[in-house]
Each structure stands twice: as C-alpha cells, then as structure tokens.
Amino acid sequence: MERSRMFPPLTSRISDALDILFRCEDRSEAERLLLTRCGSTLPLLRDNSSGVERVRLAVIKLSQGDICRLDSAITGASEDWRDTLRSAGFSHVEAHLKWQPLPPPILIESTGGLSVGTLQRIGMYEPAWLHERAEFQLPLHQLTLVGCPRITHRYFTGRFLLSDSGELLALEEYDRDGSPASLNRVDVRLVMIRPSLRREALVDSQRCGSIIPRQINSDGVLYDKRGLKEEGEIFHCDRDLKSLVWTELFTAMVT
C-alpha cells in the first residue's frame, strides 16, 4: 500500500468513533477503508488534514456502524464530499467537533427471545469528586419500552435483568433529584418494571454505591448491594415480590 494513499493518519477522534460504532470484527476493515479511500484521494483535500477528518467523521456517522454503509458513504464522498457533509449535518465547519458517536442500543431480551425494549447510552458522566481518576466515568442510559417513546429525565446505569417470561424487568437507576450533586454521589436504586402493564415498583436503594440484580423468580428478586465507602463489601439481598408497591410507570416522553 502506497504511503501517500494513507495520508493523513487516523486521528484519536476518528479512532474513538470507530471503537464505539463498529464491531470488533469490522473495526480493521473500517480503518482500512478510511485510510485507503477516504484521505488524500478526496478531491481538493489532498493536503488538508482537518478537512479530511471532517469528511471521515461524516462517512462514519452516515454508516451507523455498518461496514457496507461505510463503503457506500466513502464512494459518495469520493464523488462530492460536500454532499456527504450536508447529509451528515456537518455543513458548518466545526459541526463535526460537536458530534458524539453513541453505541447501538442494548437490547433487553429474555432467554426465550422476547424483546421488551432497549437501553440507549446517551453519554458519560465523570463525578466531580473523582477528578484525579479521570478514567472513571458513569454511563448514562435511557429506557425505551416496546410500543412507547423513550423515557427521558431518568438515567439508568445499564445493569438490568429480565425474567425468563419477560414479565418483570429489574433495572439499576441513578437516584437523583435533577442536580449534579445527586449524580456526583452515585446514589442508585433498583426498580422493578412490568413492561406490558407499564407499572413499576421500588425494590431497594443504595447511597453512593451499586445494586446489581442477580435473579428473578416466582417469589422475588435477588440482588447484590455494595457501597463505595464500604471497602468493596457485597451484601446479598432479596425482596419478596408480594411486598412491592406498584405504581404507574413514570414516563417523561420525548417530544
């Protein structure tokens, strides 16, 4: 492969986008396509590395993590990359710098193949009190149940457990009052949802820690609690389903 055809090299922004959107088995092929077909070969961008990055991010965004779509987007960019930028919403010269690629939604599916919804990661949050450990970030997810718009203003960690029947869904949720301070504390709670009935119940809560659902059976739910200030000690807990107080599922719909 000619070195000139691989100019410019992939930036960290490009590499991060590939890591987030593409499957491991497609990652190297996506990188190869960008290096060989979406670089110095682009019309009028041979010596414009910042312009190439902008176009590369555009084709990655349009691909949505699909290698065939990436190939098609690169073909289009080779013909007229200005159309590609418009299609990706990158017409403004700095628009691509504000784009935050998100991974595909997590499918909430039972062992029997019944899907009740998805969890979509919408971003990451770094607690202020962990500034010396910048690598530690909290994933923020939003829930979408089948047949309903996404639930907003509620943020889930991504830890969940669905019963075999698909009738009960246990999720770890950030217990926050809307202020950054409440999220900084990493307060969480475990909620149980009946997806088909749009009902929910509070199972337990933990200040500054985690609650991980382990098993749902006909009698109750088993879960592990751990406080960040308790030196990693794990408490094995259970809750009888009959003791839960069910209410209407709180949903703040996307407009």
Task: Compute the average pLDDT of residues 198-205.
Answer: 96
Task: Lowest mean pLDDT of 1-10, 20-29, 205-214, 215-224, name the range.
Answer: 1-10
> DSSP secondary-structure letter at 153?
S
Task: Reduce the DSSP state of residue 135 to 3 states and report it.
Answer: coil
Question: How buried is 211 (Cβ within 10 angstroms: 0-12 exposed, 13-18 middle, 19+ buried)?
Answer: buried
Indicate the pLDDT class of residue 3, thresholds 50, 70 and 90: very low
Contact 176, 205 (CB under 8 A): no
Neighbours of 96 (CB within 10 A): 21
| Dihedral sign (CA 197, 199, 205, 209) | positive
Task: Compute the average pLDDT of residues 81-110.
Answer: 92
pLDDT at 45 over 90: no
Alpha-carbon distance of 153 to 221, in angstroms, equals 26
pLDDT at 122 over 90: no
Prediction pTM value: 0.70
HSE toward the beta carbon, residue 218, CA cutoff 13 A: 0
pLDDT digits (tens, 9 = 90+) for 171-180: 999 987 656 6
Alpha-carbon distance of 202 to 114, in angstroms, equals 24
pLDDT digits (tens, 9 = 90+) for 160-169: 999 999 999 9
| pLDDT the model gives residue 1 | 44
For the chain, the structural domain boundaries read: 3-98, 106-248
| pLDDT the model gives residue 134 | 45
pLDDT digits (tens, 9 = 90+) for 232-245: 689 999 999 999 99
Among 86, 95, 24, 25, CA closest to 53: 95
- E strands, the chain, in order: 106-109, 115-125, 138-145, 156-162, 169-174, 188-194, 199-206, 209-216, 220-227, 234-240, 247-248
